[in-house]
Amino acid sequence: SPAVTKLRGFSVDEAMNEAVADGLHPDDFKAIMGKMPDRIKEFMKGKTGQTHAVDEVRQPCKDGSWKWVEISSTLYTNDNGEIAGVIGVSRDITLRRKVRASLLESQRFFKAIFAHAGIGMAITDLAGNFMNVNTKFCNIFQYTENELKSLSFKVLFHQEDEKIDDELILRLKAGEIDNYEIEKRYCRKDGNEIWAILNVALIRNENGSPLYFISQIQEITQRKQAETELKESEERLRAIFNASRSVGYIITSVDDNHPIIEFSPGAASIFGFKQNEIVGKNVSSLIPEDKKETARNIYRKMMKDGREFSGEMTLLKRNEEPFDTYYTVYPVLNAFGKPIAILGVIIDITSVKNTQEVIQQLNQNLSEKNKELEQVIYVTSHDLRSPLVNIQGFSKELDNSLKELQDLLDKIPDQNKQEILHINADIQESLHFILGSTRKMDKLLMGLLQFSRLGKQIPEMGRIKLNKLLKEVLANFEFQVKSNNIEVRLSKLPDIYGDMSMLNQAFSNIISNAIKYRDPQKKGKIQIWGSLEREYAVVHIEDNGIGIDSRFHEKIFELFHRTHPEIIDGDGLGLSVVKKIMEMNQGKIRVKSIQGEGSCFSLYFQLPVRRKRRVVNVKH
């Protein structure tokens, strides 16, 4: 027909002279000829015009291209019933083939996306029954594909969220929306609750009738848990932010103007502002003019180093009255470590500063009084010894004179010297008491002078090998130890940090007391050993002497206190000196004692290896 020209570009005459084989692609011609015997058989069983075939083939065009055509062919017979030829109708299907190919490609693409998507995907019918699910969907809910295809989507719903999207589904079916997305809870096969983002779309046919739903599921359980924890943390911080009245919290922006974003009730109380008066204003309005450059330097350094800064600064109240504060400023960082705000923590230390000034004044007064007291002690002990020396000197002269008088009396006849001898005896007895008292007073004054001088010394701190020091101390008491049959045991001791000369005296005083206050009813024992307690090395000196009543455990370290004056002669300064020495060597002394069983003195020293340089800031 003339349509061949439009279809393939050939004229009718050109097409009429064309062999059938030349009008088809070789592969398509071969395929059709292969089907022809069966088609003839089928045709011969029926009647003329009742059997036809449809083939999609490629035909050549005059311009050399190929065009897809659909050929509907029918065999026909002559009057004798013999096959006379074929009636064929051709239709251009090139566009249809392209559409079909595109559709197949889209289907393959969709299947690939569906199967390998990183989120769960499911196709359900209009009743919510699963038609198809991907691997990710199965992994999320811990079901197999076959198990899910026998279930409804509603089986996975959390009972509290079961109807949360019913209205959205109705709107979707009514065509009011194309899709919807919500967050809801589901239950996995093991019964555990999960959170997920659900996105649902409704697929319709060409007529707009609903066919099925496509659902996409993205699990967000960890994110929801993090959000819950973050919310709880924010609520706790907000409670702290609002509850404190003695501490002010100020949050400012990192913008050039540094406006105040948050001003806690504590800050409002400290500065005297209402929150709505100060929020939005530049934070520099709280800083005195002469402190602004310091504040800018702190800000620049904080932003550069990315860490907090603390210190003292004078700030301004609402009435522009300056007051002392202790501040800490922190950069508030986002998830990428970039500063997004500045948090300032402010404490009003005006009262603390005032108290410090009072304390400093009191300490100064106390120091002056201590110096005066030391001077009094020194002068008293020094000046009192002068007349005491005179008394001692003249008493000795008097004693010598009495001796000379005795020699003269020996030359006088007995009947004339009885009265004189009686007077001489009284004078000697009185002189004996005078000399004894002066010796005792001299000893006390010497001890007091020594104690006063000790307070003026500056310890020469250094590392001390305790075992070496204790051996030297014990060597000085070797005669007393042996003559009193005392057993001494010295264990291995740690090295300490202190003044060698002072500690020699301290250990000597304690060892001397252990010997003096021994129990004569049992063999004397002195044991010396060491231990470590936190940052201290502890030296324990234990004896089995007469012990100390628990009532006097603290008093024994007081000046001139003597526990057993009726038994042992002493000045009552020994343990006072030990305590003073331990304090000057940054240590301490403790005693444990049971009367009748013995005493144990423990001396605490700082360890050299752990000794750190300590910076004491009175302001804090």
Report the candidate in 460, 455, 490 with the shortest Cα–Cα distance to residue 474: 490
3-state secondary structure of 418: helix
In this structure, is residue 169 part of a structural domain? yes
In this structure, is residue 193 part of a structural domain? yes
Q: How many whole angstroms separate alpha carbon 247 and alpha carbon 265?
A: 9
Locate 220 and state its tokens: 């967000």
* pLDDT over threshold 90, residue 27: yes
* pLDDT at 100 (0 to 100): 84
* pLDDT at 44 (0 to 100): 73
118 CB-near residues (< 8 Å, 6+ apart) = 136
Residues 161 and 198 in one domain: yes
Count the alpha carbons within 13 Å of 286 in the hemisphere toward its beta carbon.
Answer: 29
Residues 514 and 446 in one domain: no
Per-residue pLDDT tens over the stretch 447-487: 555 665 666 667 788 888 999 999 999 999 999 999 999 99
* pLDDT over threshold 90, residue 185: yes
User: What's 505's domain CATH number?
Assistant: 3.30.565.10
| 614 or 141, which is more confident | 141
Locate 600 and state its tokens: 């144990």
Mean pLDDT of 475-503: 90
In this structure, is residue 99 part of a structural domain? no
- Strand 525-533 relative to strand 487-490, pairing: parallel
In this structure, is residue 111 part of a structural domain? no
What is the percent of the chain where pLDDT is above 70? 81
Residues 466 and 584 in one domain: yes
In this structure, is residue 315 part of a structural domain? yes
Residues 145 and 162 in one domain: yes
In this structure, is residue 237 part of a structural domain? no
Residues 342 and 399 in one domain: no
Residues 589 and 463 in one domain: yes
In this structure, is residue 236 part of a structural domain? no
* pLDDT over threshold 50, residue 53: yes
Residues 184 and 282 in one domain: no
Locate 384 and state its tokens: 């009192």
- End-to-end Cα spacing for the chain: 110
Structural domain total, the chain: 5
Which residue, of 291, 317, 348, is where some domain finishes? Answer: 348
What is the layout of strands, in order, in the sheet containing 179-187?
Answer: 130-133, 120-124, 210-219, 193-204, 179-187
Is the full-model pTM beyond 0.75? no
Count the alpha carbons within 13 Å of 150 in the hemisphere toward its beta carbon.
Answer: 4
Which residue, of 294, 323, 348, is where some domain finishes? Answer: 348
Confidence at 322, pLDDT banded by 50, 70, 90: very high
Q: How many whole angstroms separate alpha carbon 22 and alpha carbon 10?
A: 13
User: What's 283's domain CATH number?
Assistant: 3.30.450.20
Please report the DSSP string for 531-548 in residue order.
EEETTEEEEEEEE-SS--
Which residue, of 435, 455, 475, is where some domain finishes? Answer: 455
In this structure, is residue 430 part of a structural domain? yes
Residues 124 and 210 in one domain: yes
Residues 409 and 523 in one domain: no
Residues 81 and 151 in one domain: no
Confidence at 72, pLDDT banded by 50, 70, 90: confident
Residues 589 and 464 in one domain: yes
Residues 90 and 153 in one domain: no
* pLDDT at 612 (0 to 100): 41
Report the candidate in 304, 302, 305 with the shortest Cα–Cα distance to residue 344: 302
Q: What is the residue range of 397's domain?
A: 354-455
